[in-house]
Structure 1
Amino acid sequence: VRLLLDTLQDAAQGLLRELALPPLTERPADTVEAVSPTAAGPLDLAQHARENDDPALLDQLLALPQAHLIVDGYNVTKTGYGTLTLSEQRFRLLAGLGALAAQTGAEITCVFDGADLVEPVLLATPRGVRVLFSRQGETADELIRRLVRAEPHGRAVIVVSSDREVMEGVRRAGARPVPATMLLRRLARG
């Protein structure tokens, strides 16, 4: 019955998107307080048989109904693009996440540590990607855990981070942690 209801809900949401109707309710991640960037304009799934960072597993997870991908932004960028400036790292990651959102239709939230920000960050946020910065006195890791706890039990929540503490915390809260290298390999594939 749950699968049938999820399928009907996905079909209804597809129709809403097709008709360009605005959503009537907020998503759980919309209710979590964080600092949003200033807009700059438009811009068991058989894991045992796979490598630990095989992007095909991420594709399978994102294909689940109502999947929500939460990305530990700087953890991913410092793993994959560590030689770039923080601004360039954010731009590159968000461009890749925008393409991933367009391909999969999954809800995507990218979280950056904003505790040391002295001024607002100017970003061109891609369509389909929510970008959040942690509040003063809070780390991105804490914000990620709050986002996971805000989700209803049973929803497919995938958290991308290679930070062991984050991975263990979100696993205990019911989310599925995957390593940063898995997302980086998926983004490199296009």
Structure 2
Amino acid sequence: MAAAKKRLDLLVVDGYNVIFKSERYMARMDRSGVSDPFEQARELLISDVAAYAKGRFEPIVVFDAANNVSPERPYTSKGGVRTIFSKTGESADTVIERLVTEERLAPRAVTVVTSDSVIRATVGGIPVTKISSDALVLDVNSLAVEYARENASRQRQRMTLEDRLSPEQREKLWRLMGR
């Protein structure tokens, strides 16, 4: 019988709280009035949370839709990140509190990312860890710099056929060629 897969800790991110804490996301705001002004910022945040959580957390990003006139905010999943929009008339705070309470009863370790002092006060206790939005933004910015550096170094590498061969394969090829 195969061993049961270990369940990852839950990461719950207060989406708009993080977006408003970072120029990285605010720069993606569409101020033209043509479309949803937050769409690109949300997409970048979801992508960043996926990278941040990979292998360590099961991530959920909660967005506040309490004043949203459109009920078209389905639960979705992209890149392993579940996104939840609160229902019209419900705050993201309420959704976050409900998620944390459900997981604490499981019991399951939860990390909540928000700088909202009310949420931080109401979701505390074991096994809940709280991270400020600023701390997540710093970590994500560090990851982005690291990824950019790695990609740049890969771009500079010579990619000849010889470079792609293992030392053993290269030795065999040289012998065949009479080197």
Work out whether 1:169 is the aligned partner of 2:118. Answer: no
Note the alpha carbon deviations across 1:73-98, whole angstroms, 9 max, x for none. Answer: 00001101234321121011011112
Q: Distance in 2 between matches of 1:140 and 1:87?
A: 17
In 2 relative to 1, CA 145–13 (structure 1 residues): closer, same or farther, beyond 3 Å?
same
Give the aligned residue type for 1:145: E
Bigger RCO of structures 1 and 2 (CA < 8 A, at least 6 apart): 1
1:141 to 65, 77, 93: 93
Q: Which runs of 5+ in 1 are unaligned?
A: 1-8, 15-64
For residue 123 of structure 1, report the CA deviation from its aligned partner. Answer: 9.5
1:177 is displaced (CA, Å) by 1.2
Structure 1: 4+ residue segments shifted above 6 A: none
Partners of 1:148 and 1:173 within 8 A in 2: no
Give the total of aligned pairs: 130
Match of 1:23 in 2: none
Cα deviation for residue 124 of structure 1 reads 7.7
> 2:62 is aligned with what amino acid?
V
TM-score for the superposition, normalised by structure 1: 0.60
Aligned residue in 2 for 1:179: 132
How many angstroms apart in 2 are the aligned matches of 1:148 and 1:176? 10
* Mapped contact 2:76–2:82 kept (Cα < 8 A): no
Structure 2 match to 1:158 = 111
Change (3 A) 1:118 1:159: same
The one of 57, 67, 70 aligned to 1:116: 67
Q: 2:84 aligns with which of 116, 132, 152?
A: 132
- Gapped regions of structure 2 (runs ≥ 5): 30-37, 144-179
Q: What code does the residue aligned with 1:82 have?
A: M
1:17-166 paired onto structure 2 within 5 Å: 66-80=8-22, 81-85=25-29, 86-101=38-53, 103-119=54-70, 120-121=72-73, 125-153=77-105, 154-166=107-119
The CA deviation string for residues 117-148 of structure 1, in whole angstroms up to 9 with x for no partner, is 23325898422111001112110011100001
Letter in 1 for 2:46: L
Give the 3-state SS of the residue equivalent to 1:151 in structure 2.
Answer: helix
Rg larger in structure: 2
CA 1:76–1:67: 2 relative to 1, 3 Å: same
Q: Which moved more, 1:145-154 or 1:171-180?
A: 171-180
Q: Cα gap change, 1:171/1:93 in structure 2, threshold over 3 Å: closer, same or farther? A: same
Deviation at 1:172, TM superposition (A): 4.6
